[in-house]
Amino acid sequence: MEIGIARKVLEAMREDLDRSILVLQGEHPRARGAGMEAGDAGANLTEADRNEAAVESARAQRAEVVAALTRVQDGSYGKCVDCGQPVPEGRLEARPTTARCVACQAKRDRRRR
Ligand SMILES: [Zn+2]
């Protein structure tokens, strides 16, 4: 993927995530970690928890996008962060935040489980 295009795609992803995070936080201000109100707190807990999980996941995705943008800037985008081999084009197109080649990602996933 051409680096200019990658940068545009990643910047658009970051903007989308920023918006999603704002919307999610706006829906349930409690998910921000603000003080719990007495009364309906119990009833809303599950929903607030789900919302918090959604915010966390959006934040994690945003961190990946920012890391990819940093690699665009320092010229290492498209190379595996572990072995330095080029990441296949199709893989980058499917997931522009991809930081590793297939082999290194598989190794990493195995370690996690
Ligand atoms: Zn690799």
Which tens digit of pLDDT belongs to each residue from 94-112?
A: 999 999 999 999 999 998 7
Which tens digit of pLDDT belongs to each residue from 83-95?
A: 999 999 999 999 9
Which tens digit of pLDDT belongs to each residue from 8-37?
A: 999 999 999 999 999 998 876 554 444 455
Query: Distance between CA atoms of 30 and 45, rounded to whole angstroms?
Result: 9
Give the three-state DSSP class for 86: strand
pTM: 0.78
The confidence score (pLDDT) of residue 27 equals 77
70 pLDDT band (50/70/90 cuts)?
A: very high
Residue 77 CA, ligand 1 centroid: distance in Å: 13
Q: Nearest 10 degrees: CA dihedral of 95, 98, 101, 106?
A: -90
Are 65 and 13 within 8 A, CB to CB? yes
Residue 18 CA, ligand 1 centroid: distance in Å: 30
Are 102 and 88 within 8 A, CB to CB? yes
pLDDT over 70 (residue 42): no
Residue 75 CA, ligand 1 centroid: distance in Å: 16
Closest CA to 6 of 86, 102, 74, 93: 93
Residue 85 CA, ligand 1 centroid: distance in Å: 6
The confidence score (pLDDT) of residue 46 equals 86
Residue 98 CA, ligand 1 centroid: distance in Å: 11
